[in-house]
A and B are shown apart, each in its own frame.
Chain A
Amino acid sequence: MAEKKVKVLMAKPGLEGHWRGLISVSQAFKDAGFEVIYGASMHPAEIATTALQEDVDIVGLSILCSNYMELVTEVAKELKANKKDDVIVLLGGIIYEEDFAALHKMGVDGIFIPGTPLDDIVASVRQIIAKGKKKVAK
């Protein structure tokens, strides 16, 4: 039986406008055989409703501003409200190590800082998919 194609929504929940990383990683996912919905800049609520409507397996967020804690909190809240919090959440951008634990707790499954080789990102995502989404501690 053919493996179901991994479907991923790639989006920027903030307004800071740096889209290069989002394109790089989206393209790497596409090259890896994933089905990529390039959401570009989207409000957290839009990300959640799109994730639900498109029935994606993964939501990939790119944030290059220090407001990521707020934005991820908002996206997580919206995903939950849409009963889509079983989706794998990835976060790329300038993310400080001191926040990793809190982000994982919010439901972020993979965090990737600038300069991470694209192949490594794809490999980690495959591992995350294989392990399955860990249920978030309530």
Chain B
Amino acid sequence: MAESNNGQVSTASGIPVKDIYTPEDVKNINYDKDIGAPGKPPYTRGVYASMYRGQLWTIRRLTGYDSPEATNARYKEEYALGQTGFSIAPDISTPSGMDPDDPRVAHDIGHAGVPIYSIEDMETVFKDLPIEKCSAYLADRVGGLLTPAYFAMAQKRGIPLDQVRGTTANDMLTWSSMELANQPPPEAYFRLSTDLIEWCAQYAPRWYPISMNSYNPRDNGITAVQELGMLMADVIQYCDEGKRRGRVPLDKFCKRFAFNMAANNDLFEEICKLRAARRMLRKIINERFGVQDPACGQFRVHVQTSGSSHTHQEPLNNVIRIAYQTLAAVLGGAQSIHANGYDEAVCLPTEQAMLLAIRTEQIVGLETGVTNTIDPLGGSYYVEALTNEIESRTWDYIKKIEDQGGLLKAITNGWIHREYKQAIIDYDRKLKTGELTIIGVNKFRLDPDKVPYKVPIFKSDRKSVDVLKKRIKKLRETRDSARHAQAMKKLDEVLRSDANSFPAVKDAVEAHATPGELGAAVMKVYGKWTYPIGV
């Protein structure tokens, strides 16, 4: 229970909570207009008519280890355990756009994530896995090679581009929330990710070309309302751009937006956040942008349990937090869930933690009965009142972002990062005053010697680093250098123009351009972003 100094009980984001909710609190709700049936606008109760009765959510965990071979082995294990989607955690080369033999990454290469430097590496990662039955989630740098490499792999396997399924996560909100080496300014993220949306709308219509992602921003300490506000402002910014460009009809442009949110500790607030998100997206797409197609404005969301909520102290306590956060995602109607490893605040997940995370999702889904009926909390006086209150506060927050000139401007002018910083200060203060309770950290804290267990620790096998360096060297030596040079020249020209950049990125990847070369191509045109945070 979050209780402030004046005795007011409130949610984690500071929404006052009454001792009891009654019909009085929901009397202004019009069921058909505000809530309605699942699968029908405004989708408050769920994006699909049958929800989990038709199909359980996709169990999808972000995984990537030492080498493409090791990651492939891990994916096969996960598939055998019943995981139905794969989410590539790339190594440092992908987010930084630097090759493994670049001296700037010497200390970071090989510690976390899978190195993917070519179409062949992508093929190794997915070797013997039925990609037509599973979907992939690619956390790709803008102008990066994961998406083109995945497309090329699918085509080689005989899956046409208009059938290939998966998601590219290259959204400006997420990538700008992290400080990265070799980082271009948000304008570059925005332009290149919009290019992919446009291109996929025409050539890969089953692919989700963007996953608008507020998970990482949330881990910067912001509240559920701020998280949702930034995410919806992101939608508005991209739709405005699609409309401004006018190269693809807006209903096609926005049809395959996917979303990624966090599930944090306040169970009801997280559930209501997801319910409010569905209603708000539909309003934005339909009322603000005038798109009629009911398939547009469906808030299809991947939810991950909040890494920042997991504690280093007494790591097994995180098992419980993750289970409740998974429950919040389920009661909130998520399409895909990543339950974290309980050792998230300790190391990369061990096999034990990975198994437990998958089992957590399966136990919630198949044992507890919470999936028996759709949106089981719909109609609860509290849940409906809180959903309304979150929505109302989120519209106010979006207004603040729009007062900055929209999300892109709010990021480039430093406003968003000031919000992050203030959120961190507020969070630290609440932890100190006890306004926020974290068991084992600021309440019932044990002396480390009194904790009667230790958890196993995963350690990376960095022996593979030399293998990676050799691999990329060989790649550079054996590729068709004339074709490569031509593709890179074309990429540079396209990046300097207003044309859609994705075909040129795709050609460059097919000509064996490396992550470092692709990163450098973007940096050459856009320059380096000075990260707007400090104290």
Contact B181 A40 (CB under 8 A): no
Contact B535 A38 (CB under 8 A): yes
13 additional contacts (CB under 8 A) given A19-B179, A65-B111, A70-B107: A15-B105, A19-B533, A20-B221, A36-B535, A38-B533, A65-B112, A66-B348, A114-B311, A114-B345, A115-B345, A115-B441, A117-B431, A117-B442
Determine if B130 is an interface residue (Cβ-Cβ < 8 Å): no
Contact B108 A43 (CB under 8 A): no
Residues facing A in B402-445 (CB within 8 A) are: 421, 424-425, 428, 431-432, 441-442
Contact A23 B441 (CB under 8 A): no
Determine if B346 is an interface residue (Cβ-Cβ < 8 Å): yes
**Which B residues are within 8 Å of any A CB, using their own CB?**
92, 95-96, 104-105, 107-108, 111-112, 178-181, 219-221, 308, 311-313, 345-348, 421, 424-425, 428, 431-432, 441-442, 457, 459-460, 531, 533-535
Q: How large is the interface on A (under 10, 10 to 19, 20 to 34, 35 or more residues)?
A: 35 or more
Determine if A28 is an interface residue (Cβ-Cβ < 8 Å): yes
Residues facing B in A102-124 (CB within 8 A) are: 113-115, 117-119
Evaluate whether A15 and B346 lie within 8 angstroms (CB atoms) in the complex, with A23-B421, A40-B533 already known.
no
Contact B105 A66 (CB under 8 A): no
* Residues in A whose Cβ lies below 8 Å from that of B421: 23
The minimal Cβ–Cβ distance linking B259 to chain A, given in whole angstroms, is 22
Count: A-B pairs, CB below 8 Å: 89
* Residues in A whose Cβ lies below 8 Å from that of B308: 20
Residues facing B in A38-76 (CB within 8 A) are: 38, 40-41, 43, 65-67, 70-71, 74
Contact A40 B534 (CB under 8 A): yes
Complex: how many Å from CA A27 to CA B427? 12
* Residues in A whose Cβ lies below 8 Å from that of B428: 24, 27-28, 118
The minimal Cβ–Cβ distance linking A55 to chain B, given in whole angstroms, is 19
Complex: how many Å from CA A55 to CA B431? 33
* Residues in B whose Cβ lies below 8 Å from that of A23: 421, 424, 533, 535
Determine if A94 is an interface residue (Cβ-Cβ < 8 Å): yes
The minimal Cβ–Cβ distance linking B499 to chain A, given in whole angstroms, is 31
Complex: how many Å from CA A66 to CA B112? 8
Contact B535 A15 (CB under 8 A): no
* Residues in A whose Cβ lies below 8 Å from that of B432: 117-119
Tell me the nearest residue of chain A to B438, going by C-beta: A115
